[in-house]
Amino acid sequence: MQKYEIIATSTFGMEALVKNEIDKLGLPITEVKNGRITFEGTLRDVARANIWLRTAERVLLKVGDFEARDFDDLYEKTKKLPWPKLMPINAEFPVKGKSIKSKLDSVPACQSVVKKAIVDSMSAEYGKEWFPEDGSLYQVEIALYKDRALLTIDTSGAGLHKRGYRQLSNRAPIQETIAAGMVYLSKWNPNRVLVDPFAGSGTILIEAAMIAKNMAPGLKRSFVSEDWQLIDAKIWQEVRKEAEAKINQQVEPRLIIGYDRESDLASMGRYHAKQADVDDIIHFQTKDFADFSSNRKYGYIITNPPYGERLDSKEEVEELYKMMGKKLLPLSTWSFYIITSHPNFEQLFGKEASKRRKLFNGGIECHYYQYYGPWPPRNN
């Protein structure tokens, strides 16, 4: 089978997690840069990456990568790329772009040049000067950085964070890919209790449950490249069937628990868990954090509490963080993983984190505060 260069894009701070996921798929990585991981694979691997990657944003098919200091350079080198081998005669191929620290800094002009070069490449192959573009979508992107042009076609369509289970809206939901990354970074073991005391619509817990069940995150959605002539429909069918066969249905129920003080949010969490087929192992309950307590040992808290930037006042949020410290720190055998944009979280919480990591949630710069508890004895 022919090998292609494939790119998985990532939000800032998630690159290492995406790299680990690609490694687990057994695909050779050729380059890791800010925001993208390049690897080699077949068209079957394009399908596998879309269905299995939890922390990536998109999967792109790399078409070309070259130096472009002027428009003639951009046109000629784009035209030489194998567009007719990738796209059919009726393909819809809009071009979007971005340019950073490059001489070609007019994005609309770059998009126009790339579009013309692709049309001329297709014309030379098919003997036509005009194309209807009434077929499947092949979204082309020209990304210029320091006079280097990267040309790709998006194989995902909607971003990979759109799993398909979150159908109801929440005031400030955490993105699914970030939630999955938080669970990965916590190194949570599915044999240990996991609680989100600010569960909202349930995203963190649902992502954790899907990880516990080894459930591929893309099983419940479609991808734009499923309509491509380039990738046989049988490939998608086989990859989905293989993913379904790997689901672990033996996960112990009721070890994943979500609380929220608003009953409609707890109901929303239950609904989303059902849509994701993980409602059998998650328990949602209406409960204010002021009433939180636990006599369990070696538990995990992974949560996205209010920040005070969108919903609650700064004073309310700071009082909440102080309460969190008073409630959680006495649980000396527990581990806590908390994401927030508040710059003084550790002081308010009452303890310095074991480790912190910068992440972006909904475009807001946050830190992921990680408090490591002790490992349980081997017989627990």
Q: Which two tokens stand for residue 261?
A: 């003080």
pLDDT at 376: 83
- pLDDT value at residue 358: 95
Q: What is the pLDDT of residue 312?
A: 59
Nearest to 347 by CA among 327, 324, 365: 324
Measured torsion, CA atoms of residues 370, 307, 160, 196, in degrees rounded to the nearest 10: 60
Q: Which residues contact 124 (CB under 8 A, 6 or more apart)?
A: none
- The letter for the amino acid at 201 is S
Helices (H), 25-134: 43-52, 71-79, 83-86, 107-126
| Helix (H) / strand (E) containing 271 | helix 263-275
Question: To which H or E segment does residue 346 belong?
Answer: helix 345-349
Yes or no: say if 137 and 92 are a contact pair by the CB < 8 Å rule: yes
pLDDT in tens, 74-119: 999 999 999 999 999 999 999 999 999 999 999 999 999 999 999 9
Q: Is 280 helix (H, G, I), strand (E, B) or coil?
A: coil
Q: Write down all domains in the chain, each with its CATH number in brackets.
A: 4-154 (3.30.2130.30), 176-218+253-371 (3.40.50.150)
Amino acid 30: pLDDT: 97
Dig out the tokens for 98 from the structure.
């971005």
pTM score, two decimals?
Answer: 0.93
Residue 308: the pLDDT is 66
Query: What gap in Å lies between CA 354 and CA 178, rounded to an integer?
Result: 20
Write down the pLDDT at residue 379. Answer: 60
pLDDT < 70: residue spans in the chain: 169-172, 308-312, 379-380
